[in-house]
């Protein structure tokens, strides 16, 4: 014990001693463009739309991508702020260089906007919108709603997901249906 009483007064003053003032110089560094990133210079967004079994787009230069995110629908252009978005069932629209638009229906996934002017969309499933019919989507929605109200707990859980997907596809198909002209 006596050793601690003798050593303690010597340790405490050293701990609280003021550090000698030295001239410090700070330098500001700026990020520079990484080598091989031509996307920023040509004004195109580099899109990768990837599924577990195939890659629909692989670092392709596009003008704009519209997605259905959980936080709301959003359009992504070149030089977009970096973000990660959870995708809800809905349409991913890719606007290519000449203004041509291609649409896919995705069941969900993630969209990662990277700071290097690239966008990666990872989805479990994606189908061209032309592969869907409004009648089939409405019929599937009615069947899923029936199962949701009368099925077992396991069936209700599956039906809840089906209802969300069929509602999204039926709503989009209804909005984009061309009215028939009667003569």
Burial of 10 (0-12, 13-18, 19+ CB in 10 A): exposed
Q: Quick check: is 28 in a domain?
A: no
Residues 79 and 101 in one domain: yes
Kindly state whether residues 123 and 138 are assigned to the same domain. no
166 with 89, same domain?
no
Is residue 72 domain-resident?
A: yes
Could you tell me if residue 54 is inside a domain? yes
Domain membership flag for residue 180: no
Task: Residue 71: give its domain's CATH number.
Answer: 2.60.15.10
pLDDT of residue 97: 80
Mean pLDDT of the chain: 78
One domain for residues 89 and 145: no
pLDDT of residue 62: 93
Is 136 domain-assigned? yes
Band of residue 66 on the pLDDT scale cut at 50, 70, 90: very high
Cβ neighbours for 180, distance < 8 A, ≥ 6 positions apart: none
Residues 147 and 78 in one domain: no
Q: Are residues 123 and 67 in the same domain?
A: yes
The per-residue pLDDT for 161 is 79
Residue 35 pLDDT > 60, yes or no?
A: no
* Residues recorded for the chain: 183
Highest averaged pLDDT of the listed ranges 36-45, 56-65, 123-132, 141-150? 56-65
What is the domain extent for residue 171? 132-175
* 112, 68: one domain: yes
Q: How far apart are CA 95 and CA 93, in angstroms?
A: 6
Q: State the total domains in the chain.
A: 2
Residue 69 confidence class, pLDDT cut points 50, 70, 90? very high
Q: Is the pLDDT of residue 51 over 70?
A: yes
Task: Using the predicted structure, report yes or no on whether residue 60 has a pLDDT greater than 70.
Answer: yes
- 107 with 62, same domain: the answer is yes
pLDDT band at 177 (very low <50, low <70, confident <90, very high): low
Query: Model-level pTM greater than 0.75?
Result: no
Question: Which tokens in the block code for residue 134?
Answer: 């409004």
Q: What is the pLDDT of residue 86?
A: 95
Same structural domain, 145 and 121: no
Q: Are 123 and 81 part of one and the same domain?
A: yes
Q: In the prediction, which pLDDT does 139 show?
A: 81
Dist CA 136 CA 38 (whole Å)? 44
Q: What is the DSSP letter of 53?
A: S
**Shared domain check, 76 and 154:** no
Q: How many CA atoms lie within 13 A of 29 on its CB side?
A: 3
């Amino acid at each position: 014990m006596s050793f601690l009483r003798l050593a303690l007064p010597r340790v405490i003053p050293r701990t609280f001693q003021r550090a000698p003032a030295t001239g410090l110089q700070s330098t500001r560094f700026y990020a520079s463009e990484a080598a091989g990133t031509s996307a920023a210079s040509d004004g195109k967004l580099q899109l990768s739309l990837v599924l577990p079994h195939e890659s629909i787009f692989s670092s392709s230069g596009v003008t704009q991508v519209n997605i259905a995110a959980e936080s709301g629908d959003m359009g992504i252009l070149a030089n977009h702020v970096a973000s990660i978005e959870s995708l809800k069932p809905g349409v991913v629209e890719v606007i290519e260089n000449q203004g041509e638009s291609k649409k896919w229906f995705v069941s969900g996934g993630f969209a990662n906007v990277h700071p290097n002017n690239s966008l990666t969309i990872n989805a479990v499933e994606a189908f061209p919108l032309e592969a869907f019919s409004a009648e089939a989507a409405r019929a599937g929605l009615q069947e899923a709603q029936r199962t949701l109200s009368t099925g077992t707990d396991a069936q209700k859980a599956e039906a809840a997901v089906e209802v969300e997907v069929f509602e999204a596809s039926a709503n989009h198909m209804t909005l984009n249906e061309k009215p028939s002209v009667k003569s």
